[in-house]
Amino acid sequence: MRAIVLTRPREVEVVRDWPEPDLGPGEVLVAMRAVGLCGSDLSVYDGHRTTPRLPWVMGHEGGGEIVAVGPDVTDRRPGQRVVIEPNYGCFDCAACRDGFTSACTRRLSVGMNIPGLLAERVAVPARYAWPVPPAVSDEAFACVEPLTVARAAVRRSGVGAGDACLVVGAGSQGLFVCQSLLAAGARAHVTEPHEGRAALAERLGARRIAPEDVRDFPVVFDTVGIPAAWETSVRAVATGGTIVMIGMGAEPVPMSTMDLTKRHLVVRGSLIYDHPHDFAEAVAALADGPLAGGALAPTRVLHTEATPAGAVGAFARARTAPGKSWINLTGRQGVWDG
């Protein structure tokens, strides 16, 4: 079996004799068709986020077609196209029992602490392989997971129809937040220094706004997570408003408790999503809900497509390319060879 593996920081290879995955009880074997790249993958690629071992299969955003089912699997079947929810809760800790699986301290994260999706075939728990209808394209497999992250953040924010919101950063995650806000009937504004990304956000329906003009937004979504973006977010949020933090960084950001208190601000962290409802609702929205086809189709943010042989270039371009970078694993003739 072939796989795309990290052999050392910033070095990726296509390996042709990677071991086939073991298919256990309750699991399905998925022939992968598309995998997206995001900031978390780049942290692994750079070596900033350590992996259990090297070489290592990366990738956590994607899907494909079920080719086999393990013992005891009765609700999935070969031939189904599925998107993979790549964060597995333990279902035993207090957070999981409360339905807060994103806070599970024993969570298994595909591509981070268990092997990833950039391989011809992967074994995943059946409950985390979500069937999708034919109308959802293979390319959309690269978008569903980050779309679910965005929709969960919007859900947690309490934003309603007609609310004016600011999205700080129009990388792929910021674009999905814009789409999710627009689908919820909110008014999405965006600030982004990269011209190509800002233009793409505008084409999706968001209104571009200059950093010096941001002010008095009831809800601000910070998708960047660095001090410069945080300063914009704090300046932009209205008194009594909420900053929803999606982007993550290790560097501390400044804010006085006096400012926080006198302005009655709420700072809400939003990490991934909660199983099972967030992923189920995202898939439903793509199938026949507000994100099905038309102007809000998530594949409109797809930008850089690469074959497995072009994976090294795909990781490099993902840092600056407008939209979503992804790797095509459809298995058509020659796709693994360039």
CA 118 to mean position of chain CA atoms: 15
Report the distance separating Cα 9 and Cα 250, nearest Å.
19
Verify that 49 and 154 share a domain, yes or no.
Answer: no
User: CB under 8 Å to 310, separation ≥6 — which residues?
Assistant: 327, 338
| pLDDT of 300 | 76
Instruction: Tell me the residue range of the domain where 37 lies.
Output: 3-131+307-328
287 located within any domain: no
Report the distance separating Cα 177 and Cα 222, nearest Å.
10
318 located within any domain: yes
Q: Any idea what DSSP says for residue 114?
A: B
Say what the pTM is. Answer: 0.95
295 located within any domain: no
Closest CA to 144 of 110, 185, 176, 105: 176
Closest CA to 196 of 204, 184, 188, 187: 204
Report the distance separating Cα 167 and Cα 229, nearest Å.
10
Verify that 161 and 120 share a domain, yes or no.
Answer: no
Closest CA to 275 of 115, 94, 152, 116: 152
Verify that 158 and 43 share a domain, yes or no.
Answer: no
| pLDDT of 297 | 65
Report the distance separating Cα 288 and Cα 292, nearest Å.
5
| Diameter over CA atoms, the chain | 62
Report the distance separating Cα 139 and Cα 125, nearest Å.
22
Angle (nearest 5°) at CA 166 between 161 and 169: 130
Report the distance separating Cα 119 and Cα 111, nearest Å.
11
Decide if 82 contacts 90 (C-beta within 8 A).
Answer: no
Verify that 106 and 203 share a domain, yes or no.
Answer: no
Handedness of CA 228, 229, 232, 234 (dihedral sign): negative
Verify that 180 and 109 share a domain, yes or no.
Answer: no
Exposure string over 184-198, b if 16+ CB within 10 A, otherwise e: bebbbbbbbeeeebb
Question: What is the DSSP pairing of strand 56-57 with strand 3-8?
Answer: antiparallel
Distances in Å between the Cα of 133 and the Cα atoms of 81, 130, 285, 310 are 8, 10, 11, 29
83 located within any domain: yes
Residue type, 268: R
68 located within any domain: yes
- Measured from the Cβ of residue 72, the count of other Cβ atoms closer than 10 Å reads 10
Token pair listed for 263? 């302005």
**pLDDT, one tens digit for every residue, the chain (338 residues):** 999 999 999 999 999 999 999 999 999 999 999 999 999 999 999 999 999 999 999 999 999 999 999 989 999 999 999 999 999 999 999 999 999 999 999 999 999 999 999 999 999 999 999 999 888 888 899 999 999 999 999 999 999 999 999 999 999 999 999 999 999 999 999 999 999 999 999 999 999 999 889 999 999 999 999 999 999 999 999 999 999 999 998 899 999 999 999 999 999 999 999 999 999 999 999 887 777 765 556 777 878 888 898 888 888 888 888 889 999 998 554 567 65
**What's the domain count of the chain?**
2
Closest CA to 289 of 143, 160, 136: 136
| pLDDT of 157 | 97
| pLDDT of 293 | 63
Verify that 108 and 64 share a domain, yes or no.
Answer: yes
Verify that 22 and 91 share a domain, yes or no.
Answer: yes
Domain final position from 269, 287, 315: 269
Exposure string over 152-170, b if 16+ CB within 10 A, otherwise e: bbbbbbebeeebbbbbbbb
299 located within any domain: no
